[in-house]
């Protein structure tokens, strides 16, 4: 069931983003969906401190704004890129393991914050009798 909840949260986030972008023109959601998905996939998640794109492909995405500009990554692209890409792919599993550790620490922080607000109340049998 954990996977289903993750899908539901992801879908809810995407739908909320679409609603925010479209306001009254709700019938144009199909045109807006690719950019919403791109922004979702390239935004860092607090639970893993990584983007979903990086978790899958082992590198950060080149943003559309960077393509027309001379950014550092575009300038650095050259003949050695295949070697650097192979190195990135070798490190994917290490990045995923680091994200798993980060996620466990994040969950622990969230649990601690939640438990600070919870005050235990002893159960009294006489109220049930």
Assessment of whether the complete model's pTM goes beyond 0.85 = no
Per the structure, how many domains does the chain have? 1
Domain assignment present for residue 124? The answer is no
Q: Say if residue 108's pLDDT is above 90.
A: yes
Domain assignment present for residue 10? The answer is yes
For residue range 65-90, what is the model confidence (pLDDT) as tens digits? 666 777 666 666 667 777 777 777 77
Report which of 43, 58, 56, 55 is spatially closest to residue 10, judged by C-alpha positions.
Answer: 43
For residue range 15-62, what is the model confidence (pLDDT) as tens digits? 888 888 887 677 788 888 888 888 888 888 887 888 888 888 877 787
Contact 14, 20 (CB under 8 A): no
Q: Say if residue 106's pLDDT is above 60.
A: yes
Domain that holds residue 80: 2-118
d(CA 85, CA 91): 10
Domain assignment present for residue 126? The answer is no
């Amino acid at each position: 069931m954990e996977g289903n909840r993750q899908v539901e949260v992801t879908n809810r986030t995407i739908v909320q983003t679409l609603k925010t972008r479209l306001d009254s023109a709700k019938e144009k959601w199909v045109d807006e969906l690719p950019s919403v998905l791109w922004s979702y996939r390239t935004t860092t998640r607090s639970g893993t401190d990584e983007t979903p794109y990086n978790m899958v492909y082992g590198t950060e995405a080149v943003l559309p704004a960077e393509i027309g500009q001379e950014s550092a990554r575009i300038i650095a692209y050259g003949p050695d890129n295949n070697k650097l890409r192979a190195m990135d792919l070798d490190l994917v599993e290490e990045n995923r393991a680091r994200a798993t550790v980060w996620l466990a620490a994040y969950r622990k922080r969230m649990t601690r914050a939640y438990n600070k607000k919870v005050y235990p109340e002893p159960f009294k049998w006489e109220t049930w009798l």
